[in-house]
A and B are shown apart, each in its own frame.
Chain A
Amino acid sequence: MRLTPDEIIFWQYGVVKLNATIVFTWAIMLALTVGAMLITRTLSRDLKRTHWQNLLEIVVTGIVSQIAEVGLSQPRKYLGFLGTLFLFVAAASLCTVIPGYEPPTGSLSTTTALALCVFVAVPFFGIVEQGLGAYITSYIEPTFIMLPFNIISEISRTLALAVRLFGNMMSGAMIIAILLTITPLVFPIIMTALGLLTGMVQAYIFSILAGVYIAAATRVSAPKRAGEG
């Protein structure tokens, strides 16, 4: 039983390998980039615009407003990181309707990589906003006894991020694979639709949680609270 697309290896040289996760990630990256380039190549700056541009504007402004709702006062600063997280996870989920496709987010390696990025981005943005001293100090508040718990919280929530996304995506793909062997006709379609919904929800949860963590880290002189989704 194959649990992750990491196991599909197209090419390997020592530890360097080209598995399905990386290949499908590249495919998603290519699709997103080419699509964005094609649409933004003829951007209209006046009141008349194309449907595609309208769609992209809705997506981008939607992400910006969501980031602002989380509590980040300058949402455009975090749009690159959080928006790309959402778009990548969402695109990876949406592509599950394509036969033969394996979502890269169904690989624990990918989700771990994304969680690690969040793990690094939170202190990075926190230090940029508050300064190194203030950020470090936030770990020993209200007392220094809280320091180990804070560190454990940082690590555990990163782990939770990775495992939550992996579990959901992997289980979705797994359920469809199992159902296809049992009832190959109508029922897998319903489960695929459900899987699309789950994928979108996961993309939303992942990016919103990342936003919440960054907001908590960048909030000056605010008590640090670890939120779990």
Chain B
Amino acid sequence: MLIDWFTVGAQVINFLILVWLMKRFLYQPILNAIDTREKLIAAELANAAEKEAEALRARDEFQRKNAAFDQERAGLLSKATAEAGAEREKLIAAARQAADDLAAMRQESLRSEEQRLHEGVSRQTAQEVFAVARKALGDLAGASLEERMGEVFTRRLRALDGPAKAGLADALATATAPVTVRSAFDLPAGPRAAIQQALNETFAAEIPLHFATAPDLIGGIELAAGGHKVAWSIADYLTSLEADVGELLRQGTGDGEQGRGETEKAVAHGN
């Protein structure tokens, strides 16, 4: 008999004891260790996943900030460029304006200088001409000439009419002092009497006269009373001639330049 039933029983018990021993000393500790380790690994994996997610978030945040920074920088750069361009345009415009103003000022200065020079030359010429004429006429003037002048003046007095005569009559009537008759040379008694007579006849009144000499008249006689004047003199002719010459000069230098014409007119009147 190959089966020994006592041994069978003993082996069953042995086997059961071995099962318990193995459970107690092998399976349980090993499985516990494995479980603990798996939990540890799972925790570490979860931790790693969390860190990865965090890193991804940080990366996204960084990229977003980077993009925003780039955008802002580009915006600032373009703004600065635009501002610099505008400033440049402004500066160039200002410089151009300043240059234009300077050029205009210079041109104006040149023109006024030219005008002044021109005017000076004209005035000098006219003065020279008139000085020569005055000198020539002054040299020619004499007693006989004074008599002729007295005749002419008398004729003119007698020829007065209209508002001129009325105005002079009023002036003579209201005059308190003797009316002054001025001449370049001392008038002889003849012409004085002729003038007194002509006045008396013309205005039908006895008019007191006072005779005086005025060399600036060059040659001629002048009666002035209360702002009214009757005169014949070479100076008047010369003044008239001078005005005519001034008018001619003004026309010659340019019809369009009104201001300049006005200036010349004033100059002519001043002479």
Contacts and interface: CB of A to CB of B under 8 A. Distances in A.
Interface of A: 3-4, 6, 15-17, 19, 21-22, 25-26, 29, 32-33, 36-37, 40, 43-47, 49, 53, 56-57, 60-61, 76, 79-81, 83-84, 87-88, 104, 107-110, 112-114, 116-117, 166
Interface string B90-108: 0000000000000000000
Contacts of A45: 32-33, 36-37, 40
Contacts of A6: 2, 4, 7
Nearest to A28: B18
Interface of B: 2-12, 14-23, 25-27, 29-34, 36-37, 40-41
B6 A114 contact: no
Contacts of A83: 22, 27
A21 B29 contact: no
Contact of A109 (B3, B19, B29, B33): B3
Nearest to A80: B23
A116 B16 CA distance: 12
Top 3 A-B residue pairs of the complex, sorted by shortest distance between their CB atoms: A113-B11, A109-B7, A40-B29
A173 to B, nearest CB: 14
B27 A79 contact: yes
Contacts of B26: 32, 36, 40, 56, 60
A21 B26 CA distance: 24
Nearest to A170: B2
B30 A40 contact: yes
Contact of B31 (A49, A60, A166): A60
Nearest to B25: A36
B7 A40 contact: no
Given A33-B22, A40-B30, A80-B23, 11 more contacts: A29-B21, A33-B18, A36-B25, A45-B37, A45-B40, A60-B30, A84-B23, A113-B10, A113-B11, A113-B14, A114-B11
B2 A3 contact: yes
Contacts of B8: 109-110, 112-113, 116
B40 A47 contact: yes
A57 B30 contact: yes
A60 B6 CA distance: 32
A21 to B, nearest CB: 6
Given A6-B4, A45-B40, A57-B34, A40 B25 contact: yes
A112 B3 contact: yes
A4 B2 CA distance: 7
Contacts of A4: 2
A26 B41 CA distance: 39
Contact of B4 (A46, A109, A166): A109
Contacts of B12: 113, 116-117
A107 B7 contact: yes
Most buried by A among B21, B22, B36, B37: B22
Contact of B27 (A47, A60, A166): A60
B13 to A, nearest CB: 9
B11 A84 contact: no
B33 A16 contact: no
B42 to A, nearest CB: 12
Nearest to B2: A108
B16 to A, nearest CB: 8
A47 B7 contact: no
A114 B25 CA distance: 21
A124 to B, nearest CB: 12
Nearest to A45: B36
B150 to A, nearest CB: 152
A81 B19 contact: yes
B22 A84 contact: yes
16 contacts: A6-B4, A17-B6, A21-B11, A26-B14, A29-B14, A32-B22, A33-B25, A36-B25, A76-B31, A79-B31, A83-B22, A84-B19, A104-B11, A108-B3, A113-B12, A114-B15
Nearest to B13: A113
A57 B23 CA distance: 14
A19 B22 contact: no
A76 B30 CA distance: 12
A114 B29 CA distance: 25
B122 to A, nearest CB: 119
Nearest to A17: B6
Contacts of A57: 30, 33-34
Contacts of A47: 37, 40-41
B129 to A, nearest CB: 129
B46 to A, nearest CB: 16
